[in-house]
Amino acid sequence: MGEGRQESTGGPHRRFRQDEHHPVPQFLDEGLGFASIYYGDIEPDFAQGYKYGIRSYYSKPDTTYPAPDQWGAISAWSWGLSRAMDYFETDPQIDAKKVAVFGVSRLGKTVLWTGVRDERFGMVIASCGGEGGAALSRRNYGENIDHMTHPTRYFYQFAGNWRNYKDDFNMSPVDAHMLVALMAPRPLLLQTGLTDYWSDPKGEFLSAVAAEPVWKLLGKKGLGTDKWPEAGQPVLNDLGYYMHAGGHGAMPDDFPVFIKFMKMHFLDQK
C-alpha cells in the first residue's frame, strides 16, 4: 500500500499519479510476491471523502464525519486492506499466512492499525507513521494530536473523540507504544528518517522500546537495546527499527532492508 499523489479532475473523484514506482523486480528476484492497492479507491483522501468511499455504504444518511466514536478515513483504508486479504486467502498461488503490509506516512499509520486489528497479516512494515502511528504523543515533539485533528488538517482520518486530547496529551488513556505492542508476537518493522522531525523518528524508537516487554512475554525478541541507533544501522529482530539518513518516506536503499526483514521471518533466511 504505497503513498502517491492525487490530482483533482474537477470533482470529488480523483485520479492517481504515482510519483515513484516500487522496486517490484527486487522483491520478485528474492522469491517474494508483490501486490499494491491504491487507498483512494477505497475512500478519497479529503474531508468529504466519506461521501464517495466505503463509509458511505455503511453510514446513515444524516451521518457527519468524523463522528465522535465512529471510524475515520484510516479505518476505512484499513478495512480495504482486509478485503484484499480476503482475496489472498482464496488464491492458491499465495501463502496468505506470510503477507506483509507496507505503507508510508498516513498509510504507515494505516498499516499499523491494520496489522493490529487483523491478525491474518503476518507482518507490518510501517514507514514514517509519526503521530497517530508509532510516535509517542506524550513526547509532544513535531506533529501532535492538535495538529492531526485540527479542522483545517487531517481530522477526518480519525474518530472525532481524539480531538478531546488536543490541549493535554497526557490525558489520553492510550499512547502509541500500546498500539505497537498489540502487534506482538508478529514481526513489526518501524522505518523512519533521521531528518523527518515532524514525524519524530526518536519517538517511534522510544515507543518500540516501551512495547518490547510484550514481545519478550510472548517468547519473541524485541529491539534488545534502549540506545537510539545511528542512521543506516537497522535493528532487525521480531520487533525492528530502521532509520535512514534522509527525511520523510521510504527511499530506494530502504527496500533491501525490508526484503531482508521479510526473508528472515517468512523464509527463515537469517
> pLDDT-derived band of residue 211, with 50, 70 and 90 as boundaries?
very high
Amino acid at 72: G
> pLDDT-derived band of residue 142, with 50, 70 and 90 as boundaries?
very high
How many domains are contained in the chain? 1
54-98 pLDDT, tens digit per residue, is 999 988 777 777 789 999 999 999 999 999 999 999 999 999 999
Average pLDDT over residues 203-211: 98
CATH number at residue 72: 3.40.50.1820
**Which residue range(s) make up the domain with 116?**
5-266
pTM: 0.92
* Cβ–Cβ < 8 Å for 1, 103: yes
* Cβ–Cβ < 8 Å for 127, 34: no
Whether pLDDT at 10 is above 70: no
Higher pLDDT, 26 or 22: 26
- Establish whether 199 is a catalytic residue: no
Whether pLDDT at 4 is above 80: no
- Establish whether 59 is a catalytic residue: no
Residue 64 pLDDT: 75
Residue 100 pairs in a beta bridge with 123
Distance CA 60, CA 196 (A): 39
Catalytic residue among 105, 127, 137, 199: 105
Catalytic residue among 137, 199, 207, 248: 248
Whether pLDDT at 19 is above 60: no
Exposed e or buried b per residue across 105-144, where buried means at least 16 C-beta atoms within 10 angstroms of its C-beta: bbbbbbbbbbbbeeeebbbbbbbbbbbbbbbbbebbbbbb
